[in-house]
């Protein structure tokens, strides 16, 4: 089995040329991916040294007088997205303009208010990039397999917007269409409020005693992982989508208040039920999150004990591969001070028993924690 070969330059949809404004993580990554596919990419940024860096990385060439882009991709921070899109629409009267900001309704409203030609603008939002930033972290493949929202509106024709969908497909992303308001409500729910919740939970640990954090398990690690995100970027995102975030966060706060009231008097009539329903609501909610390949079904998990030595995990996965079983997911768990770890292997439920048999026969110690 060899790694997947790079796509050749011939299997692209977008003709180009493409102009990219803003050479941070996303702009540079888009430039790298398009350049690798043979598209003529020109790069612009308010910082000349940032453009020079992106050119050095191979994301495209420096923008020049006479450029006639088919598509302009604005990849600047949310705060300045609308103004930059307006300037690009004015400077390039034949180009389609899109942006990649994490909020979509505000910039469109600003553009309409400023009388910009939105018949040539359609916003988009690649769900990629995570907590990292800067051209130095850019890679052509960060969009592969990720959703890429295209936020349609009534001022642009379907045909005119086609290049943005081609862009998403060329970069390996999965285009999803929704309105700007729908997008903002959706990301408030699945991205912005989770960020707030994780950050505020992690904040409680700042003055925790050492003995407390020494008890931290995988649950706490998972629940707070995204709290390490960049505050400056998130101030812009949360401010720009404050309306939708407030709507979700208020309901969440009301739920916290209700649970607090029950916990303040846990023996009062109705308190146990209120606590149970809070937990049951969580069960129902987490079941809504799709797994791999869009499936909602849960996988079966087998937990295998592995030594903390190079090669041990590779041998385990080789054994799984030789058994012809497709692993759906894999997680490692370690505890402070432990020289061994647990590998949690997710497989389709029908493969669970065979996997257990095969691994046991090969001498592995299985700790099947799932019922």
Answer for which of 52, 156, 327, 356 binds a copy of itself (CB under 8 A) is 327
Q: Which of 151, 252, 175, 123 is nearest to 13 (CA)?
A: 175
Closest contact distance (angstroms) between CB of 148 and a copy of itself is 10
Closest contact distance (angstroms) between CB of 213 and a copy of itself is 5
Helix/strand/coil for 315: helix
- Residues with Cβ within 8 Å of 56's Cβ and at least 6 positions away in sequence, in order, are none
Lay out the site mask for a copy of itself across 180-219 (x = CB under 8 A, - = otherwise). --x--xxx-xxx-xxxxxxxxxxxxxx-xx-xxxxxxx-x
Residue with smaller CB distance to a copy of itself, 112 or 313: 313
Residue with smaller CB distance to a copy of itself, 89 or 188: 188
Closest contact distance (angstroms) between CB of 322 and a copy of itself is 8
Lay out the site mask for a copy of itself across 44-83 (x = CB under 8 A, - = otherwise). ----------------------------------------
136 is a site residue for a copy of itself (CB under 8 A): yes
Q: Of residues 255-314, which lie at the interface with a copy of itself (CB under 8 A)?
A: 255-257, 259-260, 263-264, 266-267, 271-272, 275-276, 278-294, 305-314
Answer for which of 220, 348, 356, 358 binds a copy of itself (CB under 8 A) is 220
Q: Of residues 90-129, which lie at the interface with a copy of itself (CB under 8 A)?
A: 127
Answer for which of 15, 90, 91, 332 binds a copy of itself (CB under 8 A) is 332
> According to DSSP H, which parts of the chain are helical?
25-36, 48-57, 81-91, 105-113, 162-170, 180-187, 193-203, 210-213, 218-224, 231-240, 242-264, 271-286, 312-322, 352-361
Helix/strand/coil for 17: coil
- Residues with Cβ within 8 Å of 318's Cβ and at least 6 positions away in sequence, in order, are none
- Strand ordering across the sheet containing 174-179: 123-126, 147-152, 174-179
Q: Which two tokens stand for residue 325?
A: 């079983």
| Residues touching a copy of itself, count (CB under 8 A) | 151
Q: Which range in 15-23, 33-41, 111-119, 140-148 contacts a copy of itself by CB under 8 A? A: 140-148
Closest contact distance (angstroms) between CB of 14 and a copy of itself is 20
Q: Which two tokens stand for residue 134?
A: 């800067």
Q: Which of 140, 142, 103 is nearest to 124 (CA)?
A: 103
Buried b (16+ CB within 10 A) or exposed e, 254-289: eeeeebeebeeeeeeeebeeeeeeeeeeeeeeeeee
Closest contact distance (angstroms) between CB of 16 and a copy of itself is 23
10 is a site residue for a copy of itself (CB under 8 A): no
């Amino acid at each position: 089995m060899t790694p997947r070969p790079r796509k050749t330059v011939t299997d692209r949809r977008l003709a180009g040329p493409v102009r990219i404004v803003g050479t941070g993580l996303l702009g540079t990554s888009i430039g790298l991916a398009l350049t690798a596919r043979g598209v003529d990419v020109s790069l612009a940024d308010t910082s000349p040294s940032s453009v020079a860096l992106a050119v050095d990385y191979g994301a495209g060439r420096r923008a020049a007088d006479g450029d006639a882009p088919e598509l302009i991709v604005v990849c600047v921070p949310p705060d300045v997205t609308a103004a930059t899109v307006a300037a690009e629409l004015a400077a390039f009267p034949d180009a389609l303009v899109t942006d990649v900001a994490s909020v979509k309704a505000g910039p469109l409203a600003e553009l309409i208010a400023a009388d910009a030609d939105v018949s040539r603008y359609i916003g988009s939002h690649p769900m990629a990039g995570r907590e990292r930033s800067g051209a130095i972290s850019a890679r052509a493949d960060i969009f592969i397999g990720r959703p890429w929202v295209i936020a349609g509106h009534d001022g642009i024709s379907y045909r005119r917007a086609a290049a943005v969908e081609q862009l998403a497909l060329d970069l390996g992303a999965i285009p999803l269409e929704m309105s700007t308001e729908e997008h903002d409500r959706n990301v408030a729910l699945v991205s912005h409020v989770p960020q707030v919740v994780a950050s505020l939970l992690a904040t409680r640990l700042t003055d925790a005693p050492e003995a407390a954090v020494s008890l931290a398990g995988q649950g706490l690690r998972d629940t707070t992982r995204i709290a390490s995100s960049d505050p400056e970027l998130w101030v812009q995102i949360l401010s720009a989508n404050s309306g939708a975030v407030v709507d979700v966060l208020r309901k969440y706060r009301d739920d916290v208040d209700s649970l607090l009231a029950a916990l303040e008097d846990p023996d009062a009539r109705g308190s146990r039920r209120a606590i149970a329903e809070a937990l049951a609501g969580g069960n129902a909610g987490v079941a809504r999150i799709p797994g791999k390949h869009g499936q909602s079904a849960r996988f079966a998990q087998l937990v295998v004990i592995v030594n903390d030595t190079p090669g041990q995990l590779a041998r385990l996965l080789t054994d799984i591969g030789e058994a012809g079983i497709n692993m759906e997911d894999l997680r490692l768990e370690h505890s402070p001070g432990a020289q061994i770890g647990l590998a949690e292997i997710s497989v389709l439920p029908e493969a669970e028993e065979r996997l257990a048999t095969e691994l046991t026969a090969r001498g592995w110690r299985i700790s099947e924690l799932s019922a």
